[in-house]
Structure 1
Amino acid sequence: MAELLNPPALLLVLHDVAPETWADYQPFVEAIDALGDVPMTWLVVPDFHRKNALDEHPQFCRMLSERVAGGDELALHGFFHDDPDPGPTSPRDWFMRRVYTHEGEFYQLSREAALARLRAGIELFQHQQWPLQGFVAPAWLMSDGTRQALRELPLRYTSDPQHLYHLPDFTRIDAPGLVWSARSAWRRGVSKVLSEQRQHAWREAPVIRLGLHPVDMRHRFSRDYWLQTLTNLLAEGRVPMTKFDWITRQRRPLGRAA
């Protein structure tokens, strides 16, 4: 485990950020802003489902620029955030691409295909003059080709559900995260029970990540959970910060490349 250099931290992460999802997030973001200085990491999709290219939404891009100026972080979250490629060829692939998610964009990409999309995303961030340090694959699914591509690019970190990774060597740091499946009432109920159990188990963890999705914002039950959980963790003394701010404060552990 990376040596703790700071008080226990809290990382608030908004997934699937795009013009299409901003209406879901806006009231929640306003509620967070009302709490005071709570920096967030926004996982930005350059062309969400191939119909929301950021360059076509200048007002939304200006809003993101204002968030960066205010201390938030933007990270690259895939490019299209979909998976329309040829169908699965094995039971495992069928489960990962059609049951676990339909949006595992980087799950089967070759190195060349991954490099092309990653470079296109980097160029978009540069065009918008947004600092870029991190990449998170949709659904956290990365092919070997994607991992190879990430070793060749000037990105500083990536992540999976329970870890952050220094790039380019994929040195792993434990960073447990809460995330919900909120598509149905029973999923939301199970997610709440599991999240409460995990939060209790992780009460001494150096960091806890809250991984929010647009669908969470569409249901009062899940939206209220996230707001209350954030408030409680802040009251317990956890320091809110962006993913990049936190990972730069951790010493690289030895022998943990993945």
Structure 2
Amino acid sequence: MAERSLMLVLHDVAPSTWADYRPFVEAVDALGNVPITWLVVPDFHHHDALAAHSDFRRLLDGRVAKGDELTLHGYYHCDDQPRPRSPKEWFMRRIYTHEGEFYQLPQAEALQRLTAGIEVFQRNDWPLQGFVAPAWLMSDGTRQALRQLPLGYTSDPHHIYRLPDFKRIDAPGLVWSARSAWRRGLSKVLSDRREQRWRTAPVIRLGLHPVDMRHEFSRRYWLHTLQRLLNAGRMPQTKAAWLAMQPWDG
């Protein structure tokens, strides 16, 4: 059987969410060499700019030196566009999520925010290969903007796409909705079923969010799942490292 991999991905990384993630990251580090992909938001919700937090930037410097990957995850990670005008828009932008920053953006504005995010990485000398839209929601304008930029990939919940041509590669992912006890319980049931279904998949992504870390039930699930997949022989890799191993044709 070909070597199977796993990716540990932390969403919504910002100075204000580090307190949520820190105990978990320390537990992961104690397991040994498990590289992490950090989805970094340059100015989380318009009030958490990386530029104002030198200690956190140095922490990310250290993670890059350790072998982790930093990925651009929106710019503000909040939907600041005009109010929804249709039932579909209302559902996607007010019920499904309030944070689909790139869901409605026209090409010019998407390009402006993406370019600003790339410049943040450049100023900090952080290598950058990927962009992940908040809530994985992208407008057609965002897709067109991505085709113009020097980025290697983007993703949705179950695929990674090579840029600029959006070549799709299967990469199934586990993710929770952990805002309430019933959501956490349902997420556990669904994740257990999906993990079983994907047991022979070449790669499984573990997509964590800060809210997962605020509840022992979900935090324990992620750590135990990571350990279980490692014990099953899966090789931990960053997104960029795994993608570099995939064939370009087919």
TM-score by length of 2: 0.99
- The answer to whether residue 100 in structure 2 is matched with residue 104 in structure 1 is yes
Aligned length in residues: 250
Look up the match of 2:131: 135
Structure 2 stretches of 5 or more lacking a match?
none
**2:176 alignment partner, one of 151, 169, 180:** 180
Shift of 1:252: 2.5
**1:65 alignment partner, one of 52, 61, 85:** 61
Alignment of structure 1 residues 48-59 onto 2, 5 Å: 48-59=44-55
CA deviation vs aligned residue, 1:25-79 (integer Å, no higher than 9, x gap): 0000000000000000000000000000000000000000100000000000000
Which whole-Å CA distance do the structure 2 matches of 1:196 and 1:233 have between them?
A: 12
Look up the match of 1:219: 215
Shift of 1:253: 4.1
Look up the match of 1:122: 118
Look up the match of 1:232: 228
Contact 2:81 2:104 survives alignment (8 Å): no
Structure 1 stretches of 5 or more lacking a match?
none
- Structure 2 residue identity aligned to 1:29: V
Q: Considering only aligned residues, what root-mean-square deviation do their CA atoms show, in Å?
A: 0.9
Shift of 1:20: 0.5
Ranges of 4+ aligned residues in structure 1 off by more than 4 Å: none
Q: Which secondary structure state, in structure 2, belongs to the residue aligned with residue 15 of structure 1?
A: strand
CA deviation vs aligned residue, 1:75-111 (integer Å, no higher than 9, x gap): 0000000012211111111111001100000001011
Look up the match of 1:204: 200
Q: Which secondary structure state, in structure 1, belongs to the residue aligned with residue 39 of structure 2?
A: strand
Identity of paired residues, percent? 70
**2:144 alignment partner, one of 145, 148, 162:** 148
- Structure 2 residue identity aligned to 1:43: L
Look up the match of 2:72: 76
- The answer to whether residue 87 in structure 2 is matched with residue 91 in structure 1 is yes
Which whole-Å CA distance do the structure 2 matches of 1:210 and 1:82 have between them?
A: 22
Q: Which secondary structure state, in structure 1, belongs to the residue aligned with residue 6 of structure 2?
A: strand
Contact 1:172 1:253 survives alignment (8 Å): no
Q: Which secondary structure state, in structure 1, belongs to the residue aligned with residue 204 of structure 2?
A: strand
